[in-house]
Amino acid sequence: MKLEEQRLGGTTTADALQELVLASADLDEFLGELARLAADGLSRGGLPVVCAVRVARPKKPARTGAGGPHALALAQMQSRDGDGPAIAAMGEARTVYIRDLTQGNEWPEFGKTAAAGGYLAVLSIPITLDDKGGSDHRAAVSFYAGRRSGFTAGDIGTAEDFARQASRPLRLSLRIDRLQEARDDLEKAMQSRAVIDMAIGVIMAQNRCRPDEAITVLRKASNARNTKVRDVAASIVASIAGTTDIHSRFEV
């Protein structure tokens, strides 16, 4: 459903985006559906548009959602090269419109790859993420058209309006994703702690030693093997549980 049809039908784009946050299982699904919704807003009969949404995260790989494999490949190409219309839109906080990707532009290799896939024009718009948490995430939505000068002034206005309306739902989805990552990290830490505690118990039973002595043994084994403590602990527990053919005994 196009954005114009959503408005006429009484359902605003903002409402659709809020529903998208609630309906998506995770950030990747949200970005993919966001890209498809954005593309629907600019597609016309006989002139389909595909879209990609890219989110840059500090010290972590970028996350991308796309309405098709080639749009995804173009987003990944920009991540690999560290340059391109989406990168420029995010970094310079401006709309980037290339009317003809086959003619001279700042990114000739990108243009050649896009044109080879049937896309001759690209419109990249930054999505403002003024997150007060200081996460420094940046995002952009890129539209690809199969003809030169594929976007009118009206299309650009519609796309920029969509980017503005997508800002808040995207921030919410990112916060949910961070909470999920924190939960997963906590679960992993708790699992590691449990395995280490079991390994300490095994060493104590084998050597009839105190907990602090067992911890010292475990750390020495970790250093000697140049392996993380939790991995050494896991091997000890596995050997006792009979899930491996390796039998370990650590002496004080």
CA 171/CA 33 separation, integer angstroms: 15
- Which pLDDT score, from 0 to 100, does residue 154 have? 93
Q: Facing residues of 60 across strands? A: 57
For the chain, which ranges sit under pLDDT 50? 1-11, 133-134, 244-247, 252
- For residue 22, the enclosing domain spans 3-181
Helix (H/G/I), strand (E/B), else coil: 215: helix
Is 248 inside any structural domain?
no
- Which pLDDT score, from 0 to 100, does residue 85 have? 95
CA 87/CA 79 separation, integer angstroms: 8
Number of CB atoms found within 10 A of residue 161's CB? 14
Contact call for residues 203 and 209 (beta carbons, < 8 A): yes
CA 233/CA 202 separation, integer angstroms: 10
In a shared domain, residues 27 and 50: yes
- Which pLDDT score, from 0 to 100, does residue 249 have? 52
- Which pLDDT score, from 0 to 100, does residue 241 have? 65
- Which pLDDT score, from 0 to 100, does residue 137 have? 85
Q: How far is CA 91 from the centre of its chain?
A: 18
Number of domains composing the chain? 2
In a shared domain, residues 65 and 126: yes
CA 227/CA 236 separation, integer angstroms: 13
- Which pLDDT score, from 0 to 100, does residue 33 have? 92
14-33 pLDDT, tens digit per residue, is 788 888 888 888 999 999 99
Angle among Cα 57, 117, 128 to the nearest 5 degrees reads 30
For residue 38, the surrounding DSSP H or E stretch is helix 27-42
- Which pLDDT score, from 0 to 100, does residue 133 have? 45
In a shared domain, residues 109 and 212: no
Helix (H/G/I), strand (E/B), else coil: 99: coil
In a shared domain, residues 14 and 102: yes
CA 199/CA 203 separation, integer angstroms: 6
Q: How far is CA 52 from the centre of its chain?
A: 12
- Which pLDDT score, from 0 to 100, does residue 207 have? 86
- Which pLDDT score, from 0 to 100, does residue 246 have? 45
